[in-house]
Amino acid sequence: MNNETLLAAALDSAKKAGIEVAKHYKTGDYTSELKADNSPVTSADIAANDVLMQELSRLTPDIPVISEEVGAVPFSARKNWSRYWLLDPIDGTGEFILGSGDFAVNIALIENGWPSIGVIHAPVHQLTYYAQNNLGAFKENDRGSKQIHVAEYDGQRAIKVAISRRQELSLMGQYLNTDDFNLDYVALGSCSLKNCLIAEGGADCYLRIGPTGEWDTGASHCIIEQAGGSIIDSEFLPLSYNKREGLMNPDFMTLGTSKIPWQRLVKPHRARRS
């Protein structure tokens, strides 16, 4: 099965899961609780996961799956996987609960330790972002699909920083050189949608300080790279996938064009690693 067929399978599965998520969101018919790590999970997350697992097992029965909402697969069982699906049934569960609409279904195909396909579907906004290695990154809405790229930088305009709506702007001085650079801030919900905003040129960077899993970055990692950007840790080292017993990410940065002097803008600090 070639990657074009796998991309089609991922798109179809994400949109079907999105229908299920939107149903729970619009009716308010869901329950929520806290997981062991104090992150929220709802019955909509579980319903979306069930749709994804069913569709992907039907369409690609030979490809294993790792999902945030399924019990962890031991490293000994997955370390030799050449490819697998990596799922976040709802990225932005907190935004789902708050009613902002800024959440998305995330599907990535990881091949030989690197994302080769990424699909992010935001059902409330009727937006789908997708990418495939060597194909490019695209944004699809009710007007059709178009290729997207990170924003250009002329050395003069303000650099746009994507942040969470509840983020304290005063804390950004710990991580960004606010003395030498003119910065604007763009507030948005889920991690993956902030990354997609950078991929389509609506922002230039996003700093994530705090716990995330590989499922939070896999899909948008492919999209941002195919759009001309990158995701790296706070020591400017690449992220990795399926290389450790744990599946938690270090602190990371999503960066747009390489024409911005990132190592001057971002203050050095040691990445938090799992």
Alpha-carbon gap, residue 240 to 248, rounded angstroms: 10
| pLDDT, tens digit, 9 for 90 and up, residues 220-248 | 999 999 999 999 998 899 999 999 999 99
Q: Based on the domain organization, do 129 and 40 belong to the same domain?
A: yes
Task: Kindly state the DSSP code that residue 98 receives in the 8-state scheme.
Answer: H
Q: Based on the domain organization, do 143 and 221 belong to the same domain?
A: no
Per the domain annotation, does 153 fall within a domain?
A: no
**152 contacts 27 by C-beta, under 8 angstroms:** no
| pLDDT, tens digit, 9 for 90 and up, residues 87-114 | 999 999 999 999 999 999 999 999 999 9
For 228: left if phi > 0, alpha if psi spans -120 to 50, otherwise beta; the answer is left
Per the domain annotation, does 216 fall within a domain?
A: yes
Q: Based on the domain organization, do 176 and 104 belong to the same domain?
A: no
Per the structure, the count of domains in the chain is 2
**Which CATH number do you get for residue 114?**
3.30.540.10
For residue 251, what are the domain limits?
159-265
Q: Based on the domain organization, do 123 and 192 belong to the same domain?
A: no
- Which residue, 108, 90, 61, is CA-closest to 241? 108
The pTM (predicted TM-score) of the whole model is 0.95
Total residue length of the chain: 274
Q: Based on the domain organization, do 118 and 164 belong to the same domain?
A: no
Token pair of 235 as six digits: 């020591």
**60 contacts 109 by C-beta, under 8 angstroms:** no
> pLDDT higher for 149 or 268?
149
Q: How many helices, marked H, and strands, marked E, lie in the chain?
A: 7, 14
Alpha-carbon gap, residue 241 to 78, rounded angstroms: 11
Q: What is the mean pLDDT of the chain?
A: 94
Amino acid at 12: D
**Which CATH number do you get for residue 235?**
3.40.190.80
| pLDDT, tens digit, 9 for 90 and up, residues 12-32 | 999 999 999 999 999 999 999
Q: Based on the domain organization, do 193 and 251 belong to the same domain?
A: yes
